[in-house]
Structure 1
Amino acid sequence: MKIDSFVSVIIASENNPFDYAKLKELAENLSETYADYEILIVNSGPFIASNKKFDNEISHLLANVPAIRYIQMGNSSSLDQLFSIGLENAIGDFIILFNINHDPISAIDELVKLSKSGYDVVVGTTKPSNTMAYSVISSLARRILHKIDYYLPKNSTTLRCLSRRAVNSVTSTGKFYHQLFMRIQKTGYPFTTYSYERTGEVKNKDIFIGFNEFIKLLVFNSFRPLRCMSVLGFIGSVCSFAFAIYSLVSHMVRGHVVEGWTTTILFMSFLFMVQFIMLAFFGEYIARLLRERNNTADYAVVFEKNSSIMLDADRVNVLEQSFNDKKNLVQTGRDR
C-alpha cells in the first residue's frame, strides 16, 4: 500500500543537461512509494528564447517523465536562491532538497521516515573528500563560526528533508534566500542527521570558494563581526593616542630624537591595516543593507511548465477515512 503523504522533491539546476534516466528512475521510485508526489525542477537563468535545443530538451523531459514541474528563472541565481524558490512553490507535506547528480534516490524514503518520527529538519551528511589544507582551514573556520551560532552538522551536504511547518517558518522569515541552510537550522524545530554515501564524481572543495562562503556566513548571519571591527578600531585609536603621548614625552625629555623611525613606520602600517579591514567589513554590511532595501522582486520567473503525463486519472482528492493509523509526529496539514 502506498504511503498517504505528499512528497515534493526540489532539484536545483544551474543550466546543466538533464539526466533523463535518473529523473525517470526518481519518478518511478516515488510513484511506487507515495500516493502523491511532485518533482520540482528550478533552473537558473538567463533564459534565451532562441535556444531551440534547450527548449526541445525541456519538451522531451515533460513528455517522458511524469509529475514534473519545471520553473525557468529569468536571471542567474545561486544554489541557495534556486532551492528557496523551490520551497516557495512546493506543495508537499514533506519537501526534499535533492542533488540529482550526487544524492541516492533510496535516501528519500529514509528521510521521510526520520521526519515522521518527530524531526522537522533532516540534514544529510557524508564523508568528506577534501584536501588536507581545506580540512585544516575548515576546522578553524568552524570554531570561529560557532561564535555566531553557526551549528550546521559537520560534513553536511545540500540534502535536506523539511516538514511543511518547517518550510512555512523558513519562507516567512525575512530574506530567506540569504544562506538558506542557516535559516533552515534556525527555525527552532527538532532536527537530526542522515549519513549517506554520495554517488558520482564529487569534486574537492576549493579553498578560495570556501573562504568566500566563510565571509558570507559571517556577514549575513551575525552582527558580531561588525562589533569586533568596532572594538578593533577603538583599540587601534587608543594605541595611536598612547603612541602620540609617548612621542611627545620623548621629545620633551630627550630633545632631538632620531631613533624610532622604523617603529613609527611599522605602527602606522598596522593602523592602516586595521582601517582597511574595517572598511572592508563596512562595505560588506552596506552592500547587505542596500540589497535588503531594494524594492525590486527577489527573483523573476520566465515560465512554468508541467508534465503532460498524468499520475492517476481516477484518483480524487478525497481521503478514504477521516483519520490516519500511521503516526506523523511533525503534524503536517493532513493529520493535525
Structure 2
Amino acid sequence: MKDKNYASFIIAKIDSKENYKILENYILNKFEYSEIIILINDHNIKNIKEYLNPSSDNVLCLNLGQNTDEDNSIRAGLEFSKGDVVFVIKDLSISNIEDYLDNLYESNKKGVDASFLTSKYYRFKDKLTINLISSFSKHKLKNVYDILFLVTRRVINAITEDSSKTTPISYIIRDIGYSYNELEYNIKNKKYYMSKQTRSVYLLLFSEASSNFTASLSLLSALIAVVTGIYALIIYLSDNKPVEGWTTTFLFLSFSFTMIFAIFSLIIRYLSVIQKELYNKPNFRVKSVFKL
C-alpha cells in the first residue's frame, strides 16, 4: 500500500539514466502523491526529456542558468517544492539508495524534522577549512558532506526566512533548533571532497574567523609586551645585568605586532560588514521552469 503523504524529491545532479530510473521507480511505488524536481543548468538542458524518458507525469525542471553553486541551487529547489516531506539527493550513484531513503523517512515518521545521510570530507584542506572556521567564528561546522537528506516543511520555512543567504544549508538545518539525526555512509571506495563552489560559500564565513584570529594574536602580543615590561622592570630594580638590548628589542617587537594585528583585525571586521551587506540577499536565479 502506498504512503498517502505528498513527497517532493529534489535531485541536484543526475549522473546516469539508470540511477534516475531506480529512484523514480522507488518514488512511484512508495508514494501515492509525489513530485520530482531536477536542478539543471544551461549545459545539460538539451534533450533531457528524451534522455530520461520519465514515467512520472510530475517531473519539474528548474533551469538555473550558469549557477553552479550547489547550495543555492538546492535553495531554489526547496522554494519550488510542495508537501510536508522533501528529500534532497546530491548523489544518485550510491548503492541501495532505496534503503537509505526508507531509513530517513522512518525517522521522519517518528517525529524527526531533518534526517541526513552523511560522509566525511577526507582531504586535508577540506578539514582545515572547516576546523579553522569552527575555531574562530560562531559557525561551528561539522566535517560532513550531506549525500542526501530529508526535511519537513517547517524546516524549509526556517531556511527561507533565514536572513543570511550565504550560510550553508547544512549548518542552518542543524542550528535552527529542530530535531535531526544523521546516518553515516561508510563505503571506503567512495570519498567526497569539498567543491570549489562549496569552499567559496564557507570562505564567506572566514571574514569573521580571520578577524577573531587576528584579534587573538593581537591580545597575545599585548600580553607578551606586558610580561616583557614587568620582566624589564624587575631586572632594572635588581642587580642583574641582562643581555644588552634584549629587553628593548623584545618590547618593540611585542608592541609592533600588537598594533599590526589590531589594525588587521579592524580592517577585516570592517570588510566583513561590507561583505554581509553585499551577500545577505538571494543569489540564485531560476532562468526557466518547465515540466517533462
**TM-score > 0.5 by shorter chain:** yes
C-alpha contact (below 8 Å) 1:169/1:187 kept by paired residues:
yes
Residues 280 and 160 (structure 1), Cα distance of their counterparts in 2 relative to 1, 3 Å cut: farther
C-alpha contact (below 8 Å) 2:214/2:262 kept by paired residues:
no
Aligned to 1:285: 272
- CA distance in structure 1 between the aligned counterparts of 2:87 and 2:269, rounded to whole angstroms: 37
SS state of the match for residue 56, structure 1? Answer: coil
Ranges in structure 1 where 5+ consecutive residues have no aligned partner: 251-257, 308-336
- CA distance in structure 1 between the aligned counterparts of 2:216 and 2:8, rounded to whole angstroms: 47
Aligned to 1:259: 245
Report the Cα offset of residue 110 of structure 1. Answer: 1.7
C-alpha contact (below 8 Å) 2:65/2:287 kept by paired residues:
yes
C-alpha contact (below 8 Å) 2:165/2:280 kept by paired residues:
no
C-alpha contact (below 8 Å) 2:130/2:141 kept by paired residues:
no
Give RMSD over aligned pairs: 4.5
C-alpha contact (below 8 Å) 1:123/1:161 kept by paired residues:
yes
C-alpha contact (below 8 Å) 1:69/1:304 kept by paired residues:
yes
Residues 32 and 20 (structure 1), Cα distance of their counterparts in 2 relative to 1, 3 Å cut: same
Given the alignment, which residue of 73, 80, 99 partners 2:71?
80
Report the Cα offset of residue 69 of structure 1. Answer: 1.0
Aligned to 1:112: 105
Report the Cα offset of residue 114 of structure 1. Answer: 0.9
Report the Cα offset of residue 86 of structure 1. Answer: 1.0
C-alpha contact (below 8 Å) 2:7/2:83 kept by paired residues:
yes
Given the alignment, which residue of 286, 289, 292 partners 1:301?
286
| Code of the aligned partner of 2:70 | L
Query: Is residue 161 of structure 2 the alignment partner of residue 178 of structure 1?
Result: no
- CA distance in structure 2 between the aligned counterparts of 1:81 and 1:130, rounded to whole angstroms: 23
- CA distance in structure 2 between the aligned counterparts of 1:85 and 1:199, rounded to whole angstroms: 32
- CA distance in structure 2 between the aligned counterparts of 1:290 and 1:24, rounded to whole angstroms: 43
Residues 291 and 266 (structure 1), Cα distance of their counterparts in 2 relative to 1, 3 Å cut: same
- CA distance in structure 1 between the aligned counterparts of 2:272 and 2:170, rounded to whole angstroms: 20
Aligned to 2:50: 60
Ranges in structure 2 where 5+ consecutive residues have no aligned partner: 236-243
Query: Is residue 148 of structure 2 the alignment partner of residue 159 of structure 1?
Result: yes
Aligned to 2:239: none
TM-score, normalised to structure 2's length? 0.74
Residues 168 and 200 (structure 1), Cα distance of their counterparts in 2 relative to 1, 3 Å cut: farther
Residues 65 and 240 (structure 1), Cα distance of their counterparts in 2 relative to 1, 3 Å cut: farther
SS state of the match for residue 37, structure 1? Answer: strand
Between 259-268 and 165-174, report the one with greater CA deviation. Answer: 259-268
Residues 239 and 200 (structure 1), Cα distance of their counterparts in 2 relative to 1, 3 Å cut: closer
C-alpha contact (below 8 Å) 1:62/1:68 kept by paired residues:
no
Report the Cα offset of residue 122 of structure 1. Answer: 0.7
- CA distance in structure 2 between the aligned counterparts of 1:116 and 1:169, rounded to whole angstroms: 20
| Mapping of residues 197-212 of structure 1, within 5 Å | 197=186, 201-204=190-193
Aligned to 1:27: 24
Given the alignment, which residue of 32, 40, 49 partners 1:43?
40
Q: Deviations over 1:206-229 (max 9, x none)?
A: 9x999867654455xxx6875665
Query: Is residue 177 of structure 2 the alignment partner of residue 188 of structure 1?
Result: yes
Aligned to 2:2: 2
Percent identity over the alignment is 17
Residues 264 and 139 (structure 1), Cα distance of their counterparts in 2 relative to 1, 3 Å cut: same
- CA distance in structure 1 between the aligned counterparts of 2:126 and 2:64, rounded to whole angstroms: 35
Q: Alignment length, in residue pairs?
A: 285
Residues 139 and 275 (structure 1), Cα distance of their counterparts in 2 relative to 1, 3 Å cut: closer
TM-score, normalised to structure 1's length? 0.66
